[in-house]
Amino acid sequence: MKTIFSSLAFGLFTLSRMFAADSTLPAWSIGPFSRVANAQPVIRPNSDSVFACPMHGSNICWEKLHTFNPAAVVKDGKIYVLYRAEDDTGAMKIGSHTSRGGLATSEDGINFLRQSKPVLFPAVDNQQAFEWTGGCEDPRLAEREDGTFVVTYTQYGGLENGRKWRLGLASSTNLTNWIKRGSPFTGTKYENLRMKSAAIVHEIHRGHLVAAKINGKYWMYFGERSVHVATSDDLIAWKPVEDVAGKLLEVMVTRPGFFDSSLTEIGPQAVLTSKGIVVFYNGKNNDPKKGGDPELPGGVYACGQALFNHENPTKLMTRLDKPFFKPELAWEKTGQYAAGTTFSEGLVLLKGKWFLYYGCADTFVGVATAEYQPDRTGSER
């Protein structure tokens, strides 16, 4: 009887912890996020999509192998997702395919209509040397108050070009036709810095996310092994913030023993609220035997949030010790990236609901939702 009671008590305790996990999110954070019932990928690979590649000079099945790591914005009452798609060229291993940006739209955030051709891709242009053969990877979107869209993304030269990569930036008024601007750090010593991830600070204006100015400047968080910041007057040209030694200022770093023990890779748009700046990021876990979080497998990517001062975006106030979202479903744990990922890159607010779009094991796009709670978070300024 004692054994039965103990087992029952332990089961109830475990169950209560499962349900209590979301309720323990601090008041400054955004969420809790949850999957829809019977969740499935909202974007999957499509072997029927064919594109006349200007680099190959032939038709390519541009999204045949993998569709993942999505950015998102709202335009004309619809959610637009710009996702990374990999073709079936190259060797069958990570980093060997060409990536292009596909565009999909949705009325409800779950069911998407995809364009048949990519909208951001390597071409015979002034960015060819940085984007061929690897392509255009891992976008993050931003919207300026005048309706101009900006995307930061990884320009990857591919294995044939020594695995060189850097941040790229492009602008658009319609999300379909993009003007490539090169490195956001053009003209600085960081122009060709090996950096992959960059997200711009936004605020909620009339229920919609738009890029925010703080102390007269736009702000951007970037980095993956450590997090840095940059400022801009126009969202196009960016100047990284340096420390007293003239090096990139580190505003957040990895933590031994936590889910972000290996990487702190910037996620989707950061959100300026009355509590501060909520920065979403993707933590990569080290092998638990080598300083990783023992509750997670080594190499897994899970989602974190950090709070920075709303008047001084370089000042880290606090961050979550546990991921608020992590791989749990089979299609989040199995795929091209065997360790599993819920890699957040797209965040939108539509009709009183948050939609968080994430890459799953470098293979699919998933979505999680949360109710917008202005009274709890003080989100809108």
Contact 377, 273 (CB under 8 A): yes
Neighbouring C-beta atoms of residue 296, cutoff 10 Å = 24
- Residue 283 corresponds to which amino acid? G
The Cα–Cα gap between 157 and 165 comes to 6
Model pLDDT, residue 91: 80
CA angle 125, 128, 134 (to 5 degrees): 140
Beta strands, E only, 57-177: 58-60, 66-75, 78-86, 99-106, 113-114, 135-143, 149-156, 165-172
SS3 259: coil
Per DSSP bridges, beta strands 316-319 and 276-284 are unpaired
Domains and CATH numbers, the chain: 31-377 (2.115.10.20)
The Cα–Cα gap between 361 and 368 comes to 16
Is the pTM higher than 0.95? no
Model pLDDT, residue 96: 85
Can you give the pLDDT of all 381 residues of the chain as single tens digits? 333 333 333 333 333 333 333 458 999 999 999 999 999 999 999 999 999 999 999 999 999 999 999 999 999 999 999 999 999 988 888 878 999 999 999 999 999 999 999 999 999 999 999 999 999 999 999 999 999 999 999 999 986 666 799 999 999 999 999 999 999 999 999 999 999 999 999 999 989 999 999 999 999 999 999 999 999 999 999 999 999 999 999 999 999 999 999 999 999 999 999 999 999 999 999 999 999 999 999 999 999 999 999 999 999 999 999 999 999 999 999 899 999 999 999 999 999 999 999 999 999 999 999 999 886 666 665
State the DSSP H helix or E strand holding residue 9, giving kind and residue range, or none if neither: helix 2-23
The per-residue DSSP string of 55-78 comes to: TTTEEE-TTSSEEEEEEEEEETTE
pLDDT digit string (tens) for 326-374? 999 999 998 999 999 999 999 999 999 999 999 999 999 999 999 998 8
DSSP code of residue 13: H
Give counts: helices (H), strands (E), the chain: 4, 25
